[in-house]
Structure 1
């Protein structure tokens, strides 16, 4: 199986943009609530049997099961009956949020990562299952079909590789707008790379970025200086534009 990720900029309407923002806010609430539930359960099992803390203790029934991905998915389905807000996002989107939290705990247990933290904001959400027709060209514009949202215009900056099928879509919010990360896959056998050539040693330095054992010297890249000059030029252009105009907003997005 060969997997690739293609990124495209979305051109949503005002209503679609507001829906994206609401879904991100709801995903953040679900993530933080599920994390709080797990922390409270863990803290309730830490107190001593013969003493209590002077400040507080988490009193949770002894027979309460440990919160897991599956139990919290079941609780989410029950919560939808009493909290209408949870019915707005697609079910799979909220389940992916709980799966993301589960992956954070697995990383803590198995790879020594830190304890998961609460999120001040959510920057993305995932559609793990898609409709049959995912991408189309309609009236000269390319569109992507998102479950429960419908068709959203996007800028097809490069074609989707031929023979690949879209498996899932991640919607990402950035300062410059919304983007769709299309995960595409092709059912082919990927051959193992055969080592060729000869090994070389690499030494990193200050005068030269790196030097190889066969005598090749590569100069240091000047990313910061080039970026600083470009930023200075854009800020100079922005100072000449009328505040609130279309050109002003476009330059502000480029600077961000």
Structure 2
């Protein structure tokens, strides 16, 4: 099975915008109410036996079971019969909100994420229709339960034979969007190693450097618009809370954040396609992005958006039939790609690789990308001989082949 998500911009009427906004608010209230139940239950069980808290105490009976997704769905069904606000929202949309809270708790337990927090007004930005009938998309319109036909901008054709599984309605600064999850009953074979390969090294001075000497500059979208964003955020803090001027300025801040994200994502796709044009095999170092984000250069690492770039590059390679593989990133800048000798740690200000053993000299980032290429070719069953001109020649892997 192949699942893909197509994004289209909606063109709703004023009545449909009012419905979407009301549904988001009701989903937010359901989310906060369900979170309150779970939080109160946890606090009632964390009280000491021989002492009471000076602030407050929760008198939930000991036989009360822990609130779960199933139990809260039953309570939601009962409350929906008497609550007119909940009756305006499709039932499965509210259930998906409870499922969203359940996933937040699972992430807290299994992935060590923080405790789920309450949603402030305006922070709930999407809701999901998990099931739809057949033929709900006709031309440039889509039929949503309890909403009716909604127009959207059909930026690309929906392929025939695809089954629509779910629709997510998202509110952004530029308007409303529909995320259509489509499913095909096809099997796509994995791309096998073939053709010429390149290694890619990412950094801050240059966004990406290929082993053949191709440099991609770092656009730094956040850094270039940081001053403007700071002034807008300062303007928001000086406005009266709840006033119209504060809301208008908040919209400007949201649009600027979205502009930064769009510039970054567009550049990632541009670099990914350029790398796919250079070779038929791409090898990338497997970095610990969370650790880098916590370092003293964390702000610049987050501005580069390497995590998103890795996902886009992998998706672009699969789409264009290019083999993609992660390799070990340990000491890629401390090994000479010509003689495979460890030359020692370099300072960040040292931008030239000069080997004291074989005399090979090149740019530091190019040398690291060439080491990535060597490891990638070794992983797929080849070795590589680095020439003095900086070019790579792939050789079949034998027992006498050097390795490290």
Q: Do the two structures share a fold, i.e. TM-score over 0.5?
A: yes
Tell me how far 1:150 sits from its aligned partner: 1.1
1:156: which partner in 2?
154
TM-score, with normalisation over the residues of structure 2?
0.53
Deviation at 1:205, TM superposition (A): 5.2
Give CA-to-partner distance per residue, 1:130-188, whole Å, 9 cap, x none: 02221113xxxx21010111111111111112321111000000111111100001011
Q: Does the CA-based 8 Å contact 1:131-1:145 persist in structure 2?
A: no
Given that residues 24 and 123 in structure 1 are in contact (C-alpha distance below 8 angstroms), is that contact kept between their aligned partners in structure 2?
yes
Q: Which of 128, 153, 157 is matched with 1:126 structurally?
A: 128
Matches within 5 A, 1:92-107: 92-107=92-107
* Structure 2 partner of 1:61: 61
Q: Following the alignment from structure 2 to structure 1, what is the Cα–Cα distance between the partners of residues 36 and 255?
A: 38
| 2:173/2:255 contact within 8 Å kept | no
TM-score, with structure 1 as normaliser = 0.82
Query: Contact between 1:105 and 1:115, CA under 8 Å: does it hold in 2?
Result: yes
Partner of residue 216 from structure 2, selected from 216, 219, 226? 219
Pick from 175, 186, 189 the counterpart of residue 188 of structure 1: 186
* 1:202 equivalent in structure 2: 201
Give the secondary structure class of the aligned counterpart of 2:104.
helix
The alpha-carbon distance between structure 1 residues 223 and 156, as it changes in their structure 2 partners (threshold 3 A), is farther
Aligned partners of 1:88, 1:205: CA distance in 2, in Å?
50
**1:199: how far off?**
6.1
C-alpha distance in structure 2 between counterparts of 1:68 and 1:124, whole Å = 22
**CA gap 1:64/1:73 in 2 versus in 1, 3 angstroms:** same
* Separation of aligned partners in 1, 2:22 and 2:152: 20
CA radius of gyration, larger in: 2
Query: What residue ranges of structure 1 are gaps of 5+ in the alignment?
Result: 232-251
**C-alpha distance in 1, partners of 2:208/2:170?**
35
- SS of residue paired to 2:135: coil
Q: Which has the higher contact order (CA 8 A, sep 6+)?
A: 1
Tell me which stretches of 4 or more aligned residues in structure 1 moved more than 6 Å.
Answer: 252-256
The 8 Å contact of residues 131 and 147 in structure 1, kept in 2 or not, is answered as no
Q: Structure 2: which 5+ residue stretches go unaligned? A: 229-251, 259-404
Determine the C-alpha separation between the residues in 2 that align with 1:146 and 1:52.
Answer: 51
Q: Deviations over 1:109-150 (max 9, x none)?
A: 01111111111121000000002221113xxxx210101111
State whether residues 198 and 212 of structure 2, in contact with CA within 8 Å, keep that contact through their aligned partners in structure 1.
no
CA contact under 8 A between 1:92 and 1:127: conserved in structure 2?
yes
| CA contact 2:141–2:151 (8 Å) conserved in 1 | yes
| Pairs within 5 Å for 1:1-150 | 1-120=1-120, 121-137=123-139, 142-150=140-148
